[in-house]
A and B are shown apart, each in its own frame.
Chain A
């Protein structure tokens, strides 16, 4: 499903070049729940951004379902992300002026799906994520845990092939973190959803099928 070969990313910080990734080779299969772990500066988020087509590698290749990311134009990448990928960010990243239902239905609306169809799917997913009673609330009117569930619902309503989660529990307490991780695991098992999650919490390990440990831009361990 995802295959990378000699993936590198170098940032320029003024005159200094920082090698964030120094040649990553990995393959991720459909339905895997992969955790990317490692210390700060190890390249976790950079790898996630490259795999999620949010950034371009300095060298190397990324194949998503055998499609080389380099062959896609910016617009094609945008459409690829819209139709085939899902994202959950550390700080929920909901549109503050849209209520819970509108946040969840935004992407199907952009995809120009029939209103009747996405209305049902959004309502179903809100029920599934125990958010139906918060459907008309604005993001600032609900808790952090609920906001993150809305963010996952927003990503999942599109039925993405891969769900990317960048430290989704970083701003949550243990109770809410557990709730979010349980939800991800449930999605992974029930829907055979591929999930790639960046985390630095050791207690998250039990949720992952596979853990890729990064250090200094290289895979230290893949287990």
Chain B
């Protein structure tokens, strides 16, 4: 068996070494392109999904969000909860959010929005909004009379450049008036404008907890949500369990829980696109390799007949073509991997610009391995069938062809 495989491999190697260089080069090129096609588009789609996930974690939800109990509007006994949360193993920091509806006004422009009160020092440890200041600075702890606003809220002087209602070109240092739903009206200096390319953050208005307490007129020991940042390397679901073990009664949701609801269908749709791309690529690979090996074997029918006549077993002949396909697929896949990696490197330098953020392709070694394996399997089938058909022919029929 092993010696037969050795002979098959020897024949395959010689056939490739001394066969038609042009057709071998073209076959390798096609396999490389098929592999690139299998990986590249799905990697862009996966990159977009990963970008959305990253954006949600960094600028919206952090690792875990604590929400009010089922029938409550707020999380009560906030200070106790924060103390409890900050002691949970795996929790780096918890930061509360309190939002109140309002009407913003800049010159003659009015815009309905909610204002979110944050504790800037805690917030810096939980989200990355502070790193994405387009203009001006982030809020400081205890500051009052200042807000930071999202890029979409600020808008442009030429409102045709905005793709949603805005304040029409607010800049750092401008004053805006905020009429809260509790009847309080305040004028704020815009301290900074945030541009995260996350709708959630870019449509927000942030003020400090102290400022909001002055609006409410009393200390605020309740919140709409508490964002929790977990330590790197830990599974959010494990930390979630730890939080529940500490007796937290509120709803605890990891970012995955939130995404599965918000993006589940979209991710499912992307998976279908990826699957279709992979299947189409594999079908192309099968057809191309089938044709290549079919032509090769048909051109060698007489030679195959003679090899059988002189006593070479059919399996040796079939495996010879199988090895040829495998060698071509290995080289083609290696070329494909190099091409994909080159494209990914290039796109890391020059990412695709989308409103949701810059998208870079995302490929894991496991995906490369899995797709290579798929390609090998279909290539082997595509090579085996024509080789088997011709090698199964009657000796004299093959010899007379």
Which residue numbers of A lie inside 8 Å of B, CB to CB?
49, 52, 54-55, 75, 78-83, 85-87, 89, 93, 95-98, 102, 106-107, 109-110, 112, 138, 154-155
Instruction: Name the distance in Å between B181's Cβ and chain A's nearest Cβ.
Output: 84
* Cβ–Cβ contact B310 & A81, under 8 A: yes
Instruction: Name the distance in Å between A138's Cβ and chain B's nearest Cβ.
Output: 7
* Cβ–Cβ contact B312 & A82, under 8 A: yes
Number of A-B contacts (CB under 8 A): 70
Q: Indicate whether B303 reaches chain A with its CB closer than 8 angstroms.
A: yes
Q: Indicate whether B19 reaches chain A with its CB closer than 8 angstroms.
A: yes
Instruction: Tell me the complex Cα distance, A185–B14, Å.
Output: 34
Chain B, 191-209, contact with A by CB distance < 8 Å: what is the 0/1 string?
0000000000000000000
* Cβ–Cβ contact B309 & A109, under 8 A: no
* Cβ–Cβ contact A78 & B308, under 8 A: yes
Q: Indicate whether B396 reaches chain A with its CB closer than 8 angstroms.
A: yes
* Cβ–Cβ contact A98 & B311, under 8 A: no
Given the interface pairs A93-B303, A97-B17, A102-B14, the reply to whether A109 lies near B310 with Cβ below 8 Å is no
Interface size range of chain B in the complex: 20 to 34
Query: Which B310-335 residues have a C-beta within 8 angstroms of A?
Result: 310-314, 316
Residue of B nearest to A52 (CB): B309
Instruction: Tell me the complex Cα distance, A138–B18, Å.
Output: 9
* Cβ–Cβ contact A78 & B303, under 8 A: no
Q: A102-B14, A110-B316 are in contact. List 4 more A-B contacts (CB 8 A).
A: A79-B311, A81-B311, A82-B310, A97-B11
Query: Which B381-401 residues have a C-beta within 8 angstroms of A?
Result: 395-396, 399
**29 A–B contacts from the bound complex (CB under 8 Å):** A49-B396, A54-B309, A54-B396, A55-B395, A55-B396, A75-B313, A78-B311, A78-B312, A78-B313, A78-B314, A82-B310, A82-B312, A83-B311, A85-B311, A87-B310, A93-B306, A93-B310, A95-B14, A95-B303, A95-B307, A97-B14, A97-B18, A98-B11, A107-B311, A109-B10, A110-B3, A110-B313, A112-B3, A154-B310
Return chain A residues, CB-CB under 8 Å to B7: 106, 109-110
Instruction: Tell me the complex Cα distance, A106–B395, Å.
Output: 19
Instruction: Tell me the complex Cα distance, A98–B307, Å.
Output: 13
Return chain A residues, CB-CB under 8 Å to B395: 54-55
Instruction: Tell me the complex Cα distance, A87–B396, Å.
Output: 13
Residue of A nearest to B4 (CB): A110
* Cβ–Cβ contact A81 & B17, under 8 A: no
Instruction: Name the distance in Å between B81's Cβ and chain A's nearest Cβ.
Output: 77
Instruction: Tell me the complex Cα distance, A136–B269, Å.
Output: 59
Return chain A residues, CB-CB under 8 Å to B303: 93, 95-96
Return chain B residues, CB-CB under 8 Å to A95: 11, 14, 303, 307
Return chain B residues, CB-CB under 8 Å to A75: 313
Instruction: Name the distance in Å between A107's Cβ and chain B's nearest Cβ.
Output: 6
Q: Indicate whether B15 reaches chain A with its CB closer than 8 angstroms.
A: yes
Instruction: Tell me the complex Cα distance, A52–B7, Å.
Output: 24
Instruction: Tell me the complex Cα distance, A20–B285, Å.
Output: 46
Instruction: Tell me the complex Cα distance, A55–B395, Å.
Output: 8
* Cβ–Cβ contact B19 & A97, under 8 A: yes
